Amino acid sequence: MKHDLPLSGAVAFGFEAVRDEFTALFTDELERGAGLAVYIDGAPVVDLVAGWADKACEVTFTDQHLVPVYSCSKAISGLVIAWVAAQGKLSYEQKVCELWPEFAANGKDQVTIGQVLSHQAGLCGIEAPWTPQDWFDWQKTTTRLAEMKPLWELGDGSGYHSVTWGYLAGEIVLRATGGRSIGTILREEFCALNQLDFWIGLPDEEHERVAEISKPTRIPSGFSTPNEFQKLAFMRAWSSPGRRGGAEWRRMELPSANGHGTARAMAQLMGMLANNGKLETREMLTPSVLAQAISERVAGKDRVLPYNMSFGAGLIRNTPARHVYGPGNHTVGHTGFGGSVTFADTEKNISFGYVTTKQDNQLVKDVRAGRLIAAVYECL
């Protein structure tokens, strides 16, 4: 690094080891700019930012910088969908076609909202003809997905819907609410009322706060001999939106992949799951909906992610056989491509947010987040 490490924020007494591990990531040259926030029982015990917001390491990374967190967006979007369910606008066991009749095409008439949110809809990618630019057309994309024949026999496990999840979930919410998008509900019902800095669909006036990202130099881990589902989800030339520039990517609302925010905001939002559905003092999720959101909906070997997975409604779940987010068996969260992580431990009332500007090629379990999570639990 060019300079002494810029570090700001605070840790509660007894959590100094987490700060030490956080700074060690920079010493070990695993990190360039990052934020870390941990809340217990709704109160912050770790709130740190360090490093640089630009590739040249000249601009200090602060708590005012926003970081694209990719698939961590699914966890935050899952909270919004849970709120819509708590308002009585939809239910997880409801058939998608009851809200979105066109979705019934090609044998999808029995698919439930909960199955879509847990990557069971058989729509993990779009086959040719398709282009990176087509993703920017919401109507074209949702029409194509509604018309598609599932890529595998429904009811036979999951296949991670890396990008398509956002269009499916987003269209379901639009239909259920009479036209309110996930990004709009997030802003109006969650963030604006609580001064939380997280966005799905970033307004132009906020773009200058986005930190520069260093992209990974290797293909995603576990994809050395990719199958057709993995190719469609991640590796085809048209697998994700592109070629429209960073501003249009940030501006669009893609609930699966283009959330921008801070570690603090992610930890506060996920705190709803750790604190009986409350955000600050306001009940956002009923106990019934919260339990349904985090419960296991499918488990086993995923077709796209090269792991055995357990999925809730937009959430990755810890299981006794696979602890992704700490040691708890009732912990749920999500990883974003490159390394950002957010989770909630519903037993110990912990919520966690980590954002990074130096992306790695891990899809689920990033070594840096793993070190930080281990340090947190060692301090309990």
Q: How many CB atoms lie within 10 A of CB 287?
A: 11
Helices (H) and strands (E) in the chain, counts: 13, 14
Mind listing the pLDDT tens digit for each residue in 174-202? 999 999 999 999 999 999 999 999 999 99
Runs of H (alpha helix) within 131-286: 138-147, 164-177, 182-185, 192-194, 228-230, 246-251, 263-274
Q: So what's the pLDDT on residue 239? A: 96
Mind listing the pLDDT tens digit for each residue in 224-264? 889 999 999 999 999 999 866 689 999 999 999 999 999 99
Q: So what's the pLDDT on residue 3? A: 66
pLDDT beneath 70: ranges in the chain: 1-3, 219-221, 243-245
Supply the pTM of this predicted model. 0.97
Beta strands in the chain (DSSP E): 7-11, 33-40, 43-51, 67-70, 198-200, 259-261, 278-279, 282-283, 298-301, 308-311, 316-317, 331-335, 341-345, 350-356
What domains, with CATH codes, occur in the chain?
7-378 (3.40.710.10)
Q: What does the DSSP assignment read for 299-337?
A: EEE-SSSSSEEEE-SS-EE-BTTB-SSSS-TTEEEEE-T
Q: Give the separation between CA 77 and CA 298, rounded to whole angstroms.
A: 19
Summarize the chain as % helix, strand, coil (round to 5): 35, 20, 45
Residues 6+ apart with CB under 8 A from 361: 216, 217, 218, 219, 220, 221
Q: So what's the pLDDT on residue 1? A: 43
Q: Give the separation between CA 221 and CA 30, rounded to whole angstroms.
A: 17
Is the separation of the CB atoms in 296 and 327 below 8 Å?
Answer: no
Token pair for 241: 């939106």
Q: Give the separation between CA 200 and CA 206, rounded to whole angstroms.
A: 12
Between helix 367-378 and helix 16-27 the angle, nearest 10°, is 160
Q: So what's the pLDDT on residue 364? A: 81
Q: Percent of the chain scored above 70 by pLDDT?
A: 98
- Of 252, 247, 258, 262, the C-alpha closest to 195 is 262
